Structure 1
Amino acid sequence: MDFALSDEQLMIQESAAGFLAKASDSAAVRAAMERDGYSGELWCQIAGELCWPALIVPEEHGGLGLGFVEQAILLEQMGRRLVGSPFFASACLAIPALLLSRNAELQARLLPELASGSLTATLACSASSRAGHLLDQNVQAVAEGNGWRLDGICEAVVDGAEADLLIVAARLPEGERASIGLFAVPANQRGIDRRALPTLDQTRRLGRVAFETVKVPADGCLHTADDGANLLDRTLQLGAIALACEQTGSAQQCLDLTLAYLGERQQFGRPIASFQAIKHRCADLMLEIESARSACYYAACVAREVLDPAGDRTIAGELGEASAIAKIHASEAFMHCAAESIQLHGGVGFTWEYDPHLYFKRARAGEQLLGSPAQHRERLAHLILEHYA
């Protein structure tokens, strides 16, 4: 498989890097951390001028009709700049769920608004798994009349307190053909209580969402009766790939910040970047980043085939393995790079005036988001053993 970027993809990469270097520099990130909610101006630029949320949305629904690889390029640049926006929740969780659902009515109604950025959305679910199987959801759906009733609580939902639309994963009652259902629910609907949570990583917002007798019409369900668990699983795998791409960009930025500092810091009359021991540590970081980048872009190629109805089903079948490998490599590379960045800054990298502490907090929080490396290793082992059983 050819991992070289095309001319069009290089243009996307360069334009994103140039825009974000100005719009989400260190001062802008720190200002966003103090703000209640995301910057409306930045989101208007991202959605209205650059059309990034429309990237993987089909043209018939107002999108650009590009693939997941192009989205991965954007995410890597966004990770470099710790961009605070609804993009990850909307474009990497909610939109893929709708695309995979094949629910033509919901797609026609929601995707144009999500593509334009006039509507933001997120996925509200319990995202953990054991031995390759999703854990029970904390929200329960009960059939009522011509629709459903939702009750329960979702903890630590990305943008849970800000999103306009919730894609809710709920446990179905015993006797149903599927164990999990996914429902599109307006966030302002009666019976929904949302609260922002204090977080270690102040650049990514999490919320607690509680449901009490929330009514959902039958056409609010994203899938057929027996496909809910499979839909949620694939959506979470695509989200893990997106997060891994973002983490790879963050890891690269940690190394770049460190190299710049090492070139300036003098010790014994010369830059400490010239010391052989320092070179070895930086070389190890670069190797981890390149390994993560390779895993992420292969996973992005698999994701592209999954989201394309006419995609290569042989490659698409590798989604579980590819997403797990990408998340493992990217999470560990980012965590190592962030920790080493603080140490190679002489320990002062964790003080408020330096940026490495922001990346360290993002790395520690992202390590657990959408599955820890240990959980993904467990899933990978399950898939391998299942294949050879």
Structure 2
Amino acid sequence: MPVFDPAILVLEDGTRFTGRAYGARGTTFGEAVFATGMTGYQETLTDPSYAGQIVIQTAPHIGNTGVNDVDNESSRIWVAGYVVREPSRIVSNWRATSSLNDELVRQHIVGISHVDTRALTRHLRDKGAQRAGIFSGADADLDASEQLAQVQRSPRMAGLNLSGQVTTPEEYVVPAVGESLGNLVVVDLGVKRATVRKLSEQGFDVHVLPYSATFEQIVALQPAGVFFSNGPGDPAASREVISTLSQVLAQRIPFFGICFGNQLLGRALGLDTYKLPFGHRGINQPVLDKATGRVEITAQNHGFAVKADTEGVIDSPSGFGRVEVSHVGLNDQVVEGLNCLDIPAFSVQYHPEATAGPHDSDYLFTRFKDLIVATREGAATTEGAAN
């Protein structure tokens, strides 16, 4: 019989789940969250939005297709830890270059398997996302009170600014597919490769800048539009980025934000954000587009949301005119999108690039291009009338 190293998942409320060591051995801490996707574990692991989080997969069987060199959404795995029910014993996919377990070991990601993930998920739904620690191998033998104390000393997600940990260290450019419509600036708060690809396919030379990019650095590129990406952490802790976005909005540069970018738009407009009890994570989140009445199945990963009335028109407290909530989550009525009526800016709380996941929201990239073109044509008309 094979010998398995022990592992223990400890939540900050003292709840304990025993299992087997999976991936690297050792100890790790993070916010315990659950992801409901049935597929796409490699994309989840390499999504920078999951930095600082111990991800629990609700799908019971993980790892059967291994990992490959194509499906990564960034240069590395970002999750703080990984929890699965039943890891696949073999890899069965012609694209695989490694097993998931071997990749977790290679990248020093501590995990735990053979956990009752259904019971764990139900606990988090009742009690909310909370700090957790995985203790595996020799660390599983630590005294239970000491393990809990270490978890309770670990940082809370609220108040954390994690963009600096996941952003690109320097600018890079992805050329437009086909004829170029101009430069597009992406502020990398934890961007996925698929997002950059989707924007370049719209015909833009995509300049990806670090999260610390200043307004002066952005406008020096003469951008046709500005895009704020997904990312981890508390939006209230990103004051400098919010200030930069406010300057973009004031200059009426077309803007599109997704996920974290949606929350930052909300705060730039003068709205509040708040922490959700357990967040939305997975590739099966239903969202209502209020303009069309169409329901989209979306990919999401966020623990914070914008606080706003979902009906009627809001006056921006920061002086950017009228704003409406454009999309609403059907599970809990959370704000899932903002549309500015007096400046060229909009955002959604989900991931329209959706890899892996549904593609109901691909149209948003075209909508952004159309907004840029319309803003450009309107400026040309105004300039012509003035002359």
TM-score when normalising by structure 2: 0.23
Which structure's residues are more often strand, by fraction?
2
Higher relative contact order (CA 8 A, sep 6+): 1
